[in-house]
Amino acid sequence: MTLLALENVSVRFGSVQALQQVSLEVAPREVVVLVGPNGSGKTTLLRVLHGLLRHEGRRRVEVPERAQAMVFQRPFVMRLSVANNLKLALWLRGVPRAEWAERTQAALARVGLQGLGERPARALSGGQQQRLALARAWAVQPRLLFLDEPTASLDPSAKREVETLLAGFAADGMTLVMSTHNLGQAKRLATRVVYLEDGRIHADLPTDRFFDGPLPERAAQFLKGELPWHID
């Protein structure tokens, strides 16, 4: 079964060809991690997968939009309490008001923010704000979650906390598609790694084969650190 598929998708921003003839399928319970140098098309691909960008080619979706969510690299939090940030997301998703309190408390507990519901969301640390963004996504109970470099600006401790949460989401059966500049993170979380460069997919392999098997030349250079790369 395929949850989402792209067929020969291209995206252009003015003179910049951001994606070129990209085809990709996402199956249930996968953790698909997108890697590649800056400007390779990772964020554009995530936005196309989530239906946020116009494109050439075909996007086929078996998961309703209401069963999808996305967490951005710098999540936007409203000038509201932590709890009300969650309740707003539930309201926008059309969740009955009678469920808000229970879902809010469950989501805060899920990400380790219980007891902080009345705190102003913008008073949280960067790591806590990212966990709030994950709680907001988890609260709407998506089958498919997109994440754009969810730990890029976090310290090592906060990164570990977020990785643990994502591993837990995957263990619960949620399908994840995420980008990262952290090679170690890709190895720890992914069931499948997709390497992009210049808006094209150059490798799409199970994690063990990506890191241990033969790769196309550009992907192999990137993995060896011969192209710009960040590793923890």
CATH number, domain of 227, equals 3.40.50.300
Q: What is the pLDDT of residue 230?
A: 46
138 contact partners, CB below 8 Å, separation of at least 6: 107, 110, 111, 169
CB 150 within 8 A of CB 162: yes
Residue 140 pLDDT > 50: yes
Instruction: Tell whether 95 and 189 lie within a shared domain.
Output: no
| One domain for residues 158 and 115 | no
Q: What share of the chain is helix, strand, coil (3-state, %, to 5)?
A: 40, 25, 35
- Both tokens assigned to 15: 């003179």
Q: What is the mean pLDDT of residues 67-75?
A: 91
Residue 83 lies in a domain: yes
Distance of CA 2 to the CA centre of its chain: 18
Q: Is residue 147 within 8 Å of 74, Cβ to Cβ?
A: no
| pLDDT over 90 percentage in the chain | 84
Q: Which residues contact 23 (CB under 8 A, 6 or more apart)?
A: 5, 6, 7, 8, 9, 201
Residue 177: pLDDT over 80: yes
pLDDT tens-digit map of 195-220:
999 999 999 999 999 999 889 888 98
Residue 205 bridge partners (DSSP):
193
Residue 105 forms part of a structural domain: yes
Q: What is the mean pLDDT of residues 79-91?
A: 97
Number of domains in the chain: 2
pLDDT in tens, 26-62: 999 999 999 999 999 999 999 999 999 999 999 999 9
Could you tell me which residue, 23 or 224, shows the higher pLDDT? Answer: 23
Check residue 112 and report its DSSP letter.
T
Cβ atoms of 176 and 166 closer than 8 Å: yes
Asked if residue 70 belongs to a domain, the reply is no
pTM: 0.93
Q: Note down the domain range covering 93.
A: 79-141
pLDDT of 231: 45
pLDDT of 226 reads 64
The first and second tokens of residue 218, run together, are 């550009």
> Measured between alpha carbons, how far is 12 from 14 in angstroms, rounded to an integer?
6
Q: Of the candidates 98, 115, 141, which is a domain's last residue?
A: 141
Residues 126 and 155 in one domain: no
Q: What residues does 146 pair with on adjacent strands?
A: 70, 177
Task: Give residue 137's Cα distance to chain centre.
Answer: 11
pLDDT surpasses 80 at 183: yes
Give the pLDDT score at 224.
Answer: 81
